[in-house]
Amino acid sequence: DPYPFWIEKAEGCRFTDVDGNEYIDFHNCYTTMILGHANPRVVAAVREQAAKGTALGALIPTVVRWSELVCNMVDSVDKVRFGNSGTEAVMMAIRLARGLSGKDMVLKTDGCYHGSYDPVVFPSDATGISKGNRSESIIVPYNDKAAAEKAIVENKDRLAAVIVEGAMGAAGMIPPRDGYLEFLCKVARDNGIMFILDEVISLRLAWGGVQSIYKIKPDLTTMAKIIGGGYPVGAIGGREDLMQMFSPEIRKVYHAGTLNANPITATAGVAT
């Protein structure tokens, strides 16, 4: 088909395009719309909040409830901070790891998608990435324990973080095999390196995310998509001793944003 796909409307599991053709949606906006499109409860909640304000430059009480829901859902998350995309969540997780460790390098697995942030961009040979960013990334094959352990041990004095998806998304829904996530988490910890689990996509696979399936507790978890009810969202969560480094009283690591914890996104997230 030489023409792009333009959608007129969506409801439940169905699209209608601008020419009136109807389709069943097996995509769910890259797994974001877990309740389907135009869910009546979410739409009603968003309309009510929109009448009260859409961008206030301050928090609303709903954000507290939203935070509690995320922390109660993901066992490894004591505290959470909200942003506007999964990419931003990954950026902040890596910044926190670098800020606390004083090291710059990041190890990722080939094929895992962590957004459009230069050090972890997918595909790994994408153009426009500086030599400096490439030199700060180590890429190992997915599900290859030996390669990961070798790279971690050999570079432990330079590695700030190990990051991996809960299950591969953009490269195909490929699950971890033979205790791969548990192994990565342990080897990273044994070598004093922060373990970041990217659950932006995989969080939908179980209550508590993939980490609840494999019984692991990452140091930090990045989230997005389903927690925002269809609105721009990202979140980083983890242990309290790590997350407090973002607090204004300490501010060892800086994180700010005009639309962070936006009222509409928070409302849609809670409704979802």
- Top pLDDT among 5 and 189 is at 189
Q: Which of 79, 113, 117, 219 is catalytic?
A: 113
The predicted pLDDT at position 123 comes to 62
**Which of the residue ranges 32-41, 55-64, 77-86, 131-140 would you say has the lowest mean pLDDT?**
131-140
Domain 60-271 is of which CATH architecture?
A: 3-Layer(aba) Sandwich (3.40)
Q: Is residue 1 predicted with pLDDT exceeding 70?
A: no
| Annotation marks residue 198 as catalytic | yes
Catalytic residue among 79, 103, 108, 225: 225
**168 secondary structure, DSSP code:** B
Helix orientation angle between 61-73 and 263-271, rounded to the nearest 10 degrees: 50
Confidence of residue 138 (pLDDT cuts 50, 70, 90): very high
Bridge partners of 79, per DSSP, are 238
Q: What is the mean pLDDT of the chain?
A: 93
Whose tokens are 């699950």? That residue is 175
Tokens standing for residue 117: 């942030």
Helices (H), strands (E): how many in the chain? 10, 10
Residue type, 120: V
Over residues 42-53, the pLDDT tens digits come to 999 999 999 999
Question: How far is Cα 254 from Cα 20, in angstroms, rounded to an integer?
Answer: 48
Domain ranges of the chain: 60-271
* pTM as predicted: 0.93
Strand order in the sheet with 159-165: 79-83, 234-238, 220-224, 194-198, 159-165, 105-109, 137-140
- Which is catalytic among the residues 117, 198, 219, 231? 198
